[in-house]
């Protein structure tokens, strides 16, 4: 694939730190021209968020800004705003995750910009949403995991709420922004006009917590934390083996019968306490310790071989180095060298006609493309 599927699309990104830059990185990896507008004094704060990795910038900055151009504009000045409008004149999409209210204070809010550029798709990424009493409140990943309920459903039963290890809210908001922009782009193909796409960290958090929220709304019951387990299936969790944890997923009674037989207890499948998933849910306190004792007596690789042979879904609970050593992970070529650099990053998790989009280059130096983009 010599050019990306979004070749010819022009995106102007006013992104800071993660959610906005991640949306821009998706567009860039898919072949769009992405011009990142940064403040002249230091640029995106993410450049300094961590030790210098390459070219004075932190690793996270490289992760979420590969393949873009960098232009510096002082948007607090009339000249800077005029230069931004010049960039938007032939752009398809503008996206920003500026602090709520900042775009409006600078005169580049959605109403002003779309009135001047009716073909433009304007994506505003907020923290707590574009309506409501908290709409001007700023926020970061852990705050919205806490506020949106995700922390309350993560962790060990009876333990404290836990932040998820990945930035699911920030990156999820970036994903929804791209999805919304492409949907609006399809509408523009039909109508010739752009519009405004609103996303927020809170809305993303609420969606990811959706099953628990729907459960409470419709049953009045607050879901419990299950660590690696599942609220509706047993056994469906990790167990310690003699040398490391393994996750076993018996998603139906047929799989449980195979699993029980492999454990040496085919009679469990006929036992009224364990014969059906609903019975196992009610009696998990009896069943799970017996499984754990049997699993702990045998090494992980043996359990993986035995369970995979009989078709019971299972997997090792891998640490990151173990993940990268997995032949399947290597075959997917998700970790790619960055063109023109001496390091690698994780690529986008999709393919077109069997081919994964390739990164087109590293992250830009601050203001490196002023002359090209602004004619300066």
- Active-site positions read 170
C-alpha to C-alpha distances, 243 to 47, 199, 317, 320, 352, nearest whole angstrom: 41, 44, 11, 17, 40
Q: Which residues contact 173 (CB under 8 A, 6 or more apart)?
A: 19, 23, 97, 125, 199, 200, 201, 203, 204
* Residue of 59, 204, 81, 186 lying closest to 143 (CA atoms): 204
Counting Cα atoms < 13 Å in the Cβ hemisphere of 5 gives 12
The Cα 68–Cα 61 span in angstroms is 11
Q: What are phi and psi of 170, to 5 degrees?
A: -60, -50
Cis amide bond preceding 235, omega within 30: yes
Cα(144)–Cα(128) distance, rounded to whole angstroms? 8
Closest alpha carbon to 236 in 254, 251, 253, 216: 251
Strands, E, within the chain: which ranges? 10-14, 33-38, 52-54, 57-58, 69-72, 93-96, 121-126, 195-200, 236-240, 245-249, 314-316, 335-337, 344-346
- Residue 262, token pair as written in the block: 């492999």
Strand partners, 34: 11
Neighbours of 213 (CB within 10 A): 16
Helix axes 210-219, 201-208, angle to 10 degrees: 70
Contact call for residues 247 and 307 (beta carbons, < 8 A)? no
Total length of the chain: 376
Three-state DSSP class for 271?
coil
Q: What are phi and psi of 48, to 5 degrees?
A: -105, 5
């Amino acid at each position: 694939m010599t050019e990306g599927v979004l070749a010819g699309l022009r995106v102007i990104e006013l992104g800071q730190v993660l959610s906005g830059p991640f949306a821009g990185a998706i567009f860039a990896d898919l072949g769009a021209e992405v011009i990142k507008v940064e403040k002249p004094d230091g640029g995106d704060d993410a450049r300094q968020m961590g030790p210098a990795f390459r070219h004075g910038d932190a690793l996270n900055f490289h992760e979420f800004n590969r393949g873009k151009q960098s232009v510096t504009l002082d948007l607090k000045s009339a000249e800077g705003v005029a230069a931004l409008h010049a960039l938007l004149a032939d752009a398809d999409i503008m996206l920003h995750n500026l602090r709520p209210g900042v775009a409006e204070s600078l005169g580049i809010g959605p109403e002003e910009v779309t009135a001047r550029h009716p073909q433009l798709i304007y994506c505003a990424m907020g923290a707590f949403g574009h309506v409501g009493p908290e709409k001007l409140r700023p926020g970061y990943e852990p705050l919205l995991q806490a506020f949106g309920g995700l922390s309350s459903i993560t962790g060990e039963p009876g333990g404290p709420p836990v932040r998820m290890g990945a930035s699911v809210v920030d990156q999820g908001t970036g994903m929804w922004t791209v999805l919304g922009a492409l949907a609006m782009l399809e509408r523009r193909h039909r109508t010739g006009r752009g519009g405004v796409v609103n996303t927020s960290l809170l809305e993303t958090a609420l969606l990811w917590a959706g099953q628990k929220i729907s459960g409470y709304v419709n049953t009045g019951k607050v879901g419990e934390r299950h660590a690696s387990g599942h609220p509706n299936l047993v056994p469906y969790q990790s167990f310690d083996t003699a040398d490391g944890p393994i996750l076993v997923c018996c998603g139906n009674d047929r799989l449980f019968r195979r699993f029980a037989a492999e454990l040496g207890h085919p009679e469990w499948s006929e036992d009224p306490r364990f014969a059906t998933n609903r019975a196992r849910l009610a009696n998990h306190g009896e069943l799970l310790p017996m499984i754990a004792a049997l699993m702990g007596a045998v090494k992980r690789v043996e359990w993986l071989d035995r369970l995979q042979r009989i078709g019971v879904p299972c997997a090792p609970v891998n640490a990151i180095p173990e993940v990268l050593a997995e032949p399947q992970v290597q075959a997917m070529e998700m970790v790619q060298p960055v063109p023109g650099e001496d390091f690698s990053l994780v690529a986008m998790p999709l393919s077109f006609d069997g081919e994964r989009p390739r990164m087109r280059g590293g992250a830009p130096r601050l203001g490196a493309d002023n002359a090209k983009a602004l004619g300066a």
